[in-house]
Structure 1
Amino acid sequence: MTIDRPWTYEPGTGHTEGEDLTGFTVEATDGVVGQVDRQADSPGMCHLIVDTGVWVFGKSILVPAGVVTGIDTRERRITLACSKEEVKAAPLFRTDRETVDPEYLAAVDAYYRSLAQSGE
């Protein structure tokens, strides 16, 4: 897995600027993680907030755009470059305030970059 820019969709993922991904199913390399609850498309800070349902006890997770490997608009499916356990082990997302908390965002950035480095 290569994640050079965690907060930017990589070319070839199928991402179209301004496209509403709410409700899309999110799949890790080994199964479904949940559904997109909301998204942020600010330049250099794109991410998805994914509702995991009962999989992670009803929690939401923040997934940086750089982890996305594909967006299938016909199937309404988003695929990720990591496993369910890797997503689950990411820094805990509690409230929307964290989407602007520099310390939290730095921790998320460092976590996903570390996955990319360990997978090389």
Structure 2
Amino acid sequence: MGTGIWDYGHRAGYAPGTDLVGYKVEAADGSIGKVDRHTDDVARSYLVVDTGPWIFGRKVVIPAGLVTRVDTEHETVHLTCTRDQVKDSPDYETNGRHEDEPAFVRLTETHYSNPHM
């Protein structure tokens, strides 16, 4: 999963320019929140998901390569990762981390590329 983790897969059904803000986000095993913002930058596409009360309103970065399907009819984004993977993901809002910082990008890649960690 390391290569292409920041790009939407060809089968995900994402059309560049589609506004995903407000879409529900479903992990492989249940709901995790809503899209707060997203990018479709080449080789650095991702979602910022507001998890709401599920994990105390925390926001997380989800690389676009984890998106399996974008359902525009039901305004839902489906992911390959589990709720636990999202819950244990790096928090970009604490300790001054920002989703564009190289150290945070590497940490995120490592987390989602090595789900046993």
Tell me the TM-score normalized by structure 1. Answer: 0.89
Q: Which runs of 5+ in 2 are unaligned?
A: none
- For these two proteins, the number of residue pairs brought into alignment is 115
Distance across 2 between alignment mates of 1:29 and 1:100: 26
Larger RCO (alpha carbons 8 Å, 6+ apart)? 1
Is the partner of 1:55 in helix, strand or coil? helix
Q: Note the residue ranges of structure 1 that are not aligned, 5 or more in a row.
A: none
Percent identity between the two aligned chains: 36
Alpha-carbon offset, residue 41 of structure 1: 1.4
**Which contiguous aligned blocks of 4+ residues in structure 1 show a shift greater than 6 angstroms?**
none
- 2-structure distance, mates of 1:88, 1:21: 21
**RMSD value over aligned CA atoms?**
1.6
- 1:4-42 CA-to-partner distances (Å, cap 9, x unmatched) read 311000111010011100000000111100000100111
| Cα distance in structure 1, aligned partners of 2:100 and 2:2 | 21
Structure with the higher fraction of residues in helix conformation: 1
Answering whether residue 17 of structure 2 is matched by residue 18 of structure 1, we say yes
- Work out whether residues 5 and 65 of structure 2, in 8 Å CA contact, stay in contact via their aligned partners in 1: yes
Residue 93 of structure 1 deviates from its aligned partner by 2.1
TM-score (norm 2): 0.92
